[in-house]
């Protein structure tokens, strides 16, 4: 995909606020015909600029009141070690985010739990069982300040 223009940016801003907007309404808001808007949207999707659509569900509404930031160190950073860990961590339903890091820890995870007892279960049954883990450091979020689903455009 070539560089995004101002119309592409307008489409993306509108979609970030309302991913369920109809093509006709989106076209009207960005000043395009519905067919031109549909073509642009198709290009944005096929090129990977738009990576998907989803409903952002409240964790608290599902009774996940605790967010835990987990720092993990592995026994090494060999390709096989990393790929085995990454395949296993993807199976844990409580892990919302996992980053491979530079610095002191190999990975940082954001884990959703219902309460301390639930985190103990996740730690025991999932995190401690992940392959090649030698150290786990957990920090408990006291309050969420920002959780942006998208970067500003």
Which pLDDT tens digit goes with each residue over 35-92? 999 999 999 999 999 999 988 888 889 999 999 999 999 999 999 999 999 999 999 9
pTM score, two decimals? 0.82
Q: With 0-12 CB in 10 A as exposed, 13-18 as middle and 19+ as buried, what is 16?
A: middle
Kindly provide the b/e burial profile for residues 115-145, where b requires at least 16 CB atoms within 10 angstroms of the residue's own CB.
eeebbeebbeebbeebebbeeeeeeeeeeee
**Coil, strand or helix at 97:** strand
**Coil, strand or helix at 114:** coil
Q: With 0-12 CB in 10 A as exposed, 13-18 as middle and 19+ as buried, what is 41?
A: buried
Which pLDDT tens digit goes with each residue over 93-147? 999 999 999 999 999 999 999 999 999 999 999 999 999 999 999 999 999 999 8
């Amino acid at each position: 995909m070539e560089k995004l223009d101002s119309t592409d940016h307008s489409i993306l801003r509108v979609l970030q606020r309302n991913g369920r907007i109809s093509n006709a309404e989106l076209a009207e808001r960005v000043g395009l015909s519905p067919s031109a808007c549909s073509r642009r949207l198709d290009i944005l999707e096929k090129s990977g600029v738009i990576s998907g659509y989803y409903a952002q569900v409240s964790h608290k509404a599902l009774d996940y009141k605790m967010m835990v930031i987990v720092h993990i160190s592995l026994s090494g950073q060999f390709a096989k070690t990393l790929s085995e860990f990454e395949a296993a961590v993807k199976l844990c339903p409580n892990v919302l985010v996992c980053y491979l890091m530079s610095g002191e820890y190999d990975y940082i995870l954001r884990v959703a739990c219902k309460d301390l007892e639930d985190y103990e279960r996740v730690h025991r049954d999932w995190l401690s069982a992940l392959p090649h883990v030698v150290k786990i450091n957990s920090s408990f979020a006291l309050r969420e300040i920002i959780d942006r689903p998208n970067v500003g455009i």
